[in-house]
Amino acid sequence: MAKFYKTEFKIVILSEDPIGDIALEDLNYFVTDGPGCLKQFSETKQTELTGKKAVRELYAAGSDPEFFQLDDKGNDLKY
Protein backbone atom coordinates (compact mmCIF):
# COMPACT_ATOMS: atom_id res chain seq x y z
CA MET A 1 0.00 0.00 0.00
CA ALA A 2 1.20 3.51 -0.77
CA LYS A 3 2.29 5.83 2.03
CA PHE A 4 1.11 9.39 2.42
CA TYR A 5 2.55 12.26 4.40
CA LYS A 6 1.40 15.63 5.61
CA THR A 7 4.20 18.16 6.11
CA GLU A 8 3.55 21.50 7.77
CA PHE A 9 5.94 24.43 7.90
CA LYS A 10 5.65 27.41 10.18
CA ILE A 11 7.50 30.45 8.85
CA VAL A 12 7.89 33.64 10.85
CA ILE A 13 8.45 36.79 8.77
CA LEU A 14 9.42 40.13 10.20
CA SER A 15 8.90 43.04 7.81
CA GLU A 16 8.56 46.80 7.77
CA ASP A 17 5.31 46.63 5.76
CA PRO A 18 2.31 44.28 5.90
CA ILE A 19 2.61 41.33 3.54
CA GLY A 20 -1.05 40.41 3.10
CA ASP A 21 -2.23 37.56 0.88
CA ILE A 22 0.70 36.44 -1.27
CA ALA A 23 1.52 33.49 -3.53
CA LEU A 24 4.20 31.12 -2.26
CA GLU A 25 6.62 31.90 -5.11
CA ASP A 26 6.19 35.64 -4.49
CA LEU A 27 6.72 35.12 -0.78
CA ASN A 28 9.99 33.33 -1.52
CA TYR A 29 11.20 36.30 -3.59
CA PHE A 30 10.04 38.76 -0.93
CA VAL A 31 11.91 37.10 1.93
CA THR A 32 15.00 36.26 -0.15
CA ASP A 33 15.54 39.43 -2.19
CA GLY A 34 13.04 41.94 -0.82
CA PRO A 35 14.12 44.88 1.33
CA GLY A 36 13.40 45.09 5.04
CA CYS A 37 12.36 41.49 5.54
CA LEU A 38 13.63 38.65 7.73
CA LYS A 39 12.43 35.05 7.71
CA GLN A 40 12.82 32.29 10.25
CA PHE A 41 11.72 28.67 9.86
CA SER A 42 10.52 27.96 13.34
CA GLU A 43 8.87 24.57 13.00
CA THR A 44 8.52 21.63 10.64
CA LYS A 45 6.12 18.82 11.37
CA GLN A 46 5.71 15.68 9.30
CA THR A 47 3.01 13.11 9.90
CA GLU A 48 2.45 9.82 8.11
CA LEU A 49 -1.19 9.46 7.06
CA THR A 50 -3.36 6.41 6.58
CA GLY A 51 -5.34 6.27 3.35
CA LYS A 52 -8.48 7.37 5.20
CA LYS A 53 -6.71 10.38 6.75
CA ALA A 54 -5.16 11.24 3.38
CA VAL A 55 -8.67 11.41 1.92
CA ARG A 56 -9.76 13.87 4.64
CA GLU A 57 -6.70 16.04 4.02
CA LEU A 58 -7.28 16.00 0.25
CA TYR A 59 -10.88 17.15 0.71
CA ALA A 60 -9.73 19.86 3.15
CA ALA A 61 -7.23 21.07 0.54
CA GLY A 62 -9.98 21.33 -2.11
CA SER A 63 -9.00 18.17 -3.99
CA ASP A 64 -10.38 14.64 -4.05
CA PRO A 65 -9.13 11.10 -3.34
CA GLU A 66 -8.36 10.40 -7.01
CA PHE A 67 -5.37 12.75 -6.68
CA PHE A 68 -3.61 9.89 -4.83
CA GLN A 69 -5.60 7.19 -6.68
CA LEU A 70 -7.75 6.38 -3.64
CA ASP A 71 -11.47 5.78 -3.23
CA ASP A 72 -13.60 7.71 -0.72
CA LYS A 73 -12.66 5.27 2.06
CA GLY A 74 -8.90 5.56 1.47
CA ASN A 75 -8.51 2.26 -0.38
CA ASP A 76 -5.88 2.12 -3.11
CA LEU A 77 -7.44 2.08 -6.61
CA LYS A 78 -4.21 0.96 -8.31
CA TYR A 79 -4.53 -2.64 -7.12
pLDDT tens across 44-67, in order?
A: 899 999 999 999 999 999 999 999
Sequence-distant (6+) residues with CB within 8 A of 3 are 48
pLDDT at 39 over 80: no
Q: Please tell me the distance from the alpha carbon of residue 26 to that of residue 61, in angstroms, as a whole number.
A: 20
The answer to whether position 79 is within a domain reads no
The answer to whether position 75 is within a domain reads no
pLDDT at 69 over 80: yes
Report the number of distinct structural domains present in the chain.
Answer: 1
Task: Report how far apart the first and last C-alpha atoms of the chain are (Å, whole number).
Answer: 9
The answer to whether position 73 is within a domain reads no
The answer to whether position 16 is within a domain reads yes
The pTM of the whole model exceeds 0.75? no
The answer to whether position 74 is within a domain reads no
Kindly provide the residue ranges of all beta strands, DSSP E only, lying in 1-79, ordered along the sequence: 4-15, 37-49
Residue 43 lies in domain? 4-68
Q: Taking residues 8-35, report their average pLDDT.
A: 84
DSSP 22: -
Please state, for a pLDDT cut of 70, what percent of the chain lies above it.
Answer: 97
Three-state DSSP class for 70? strand
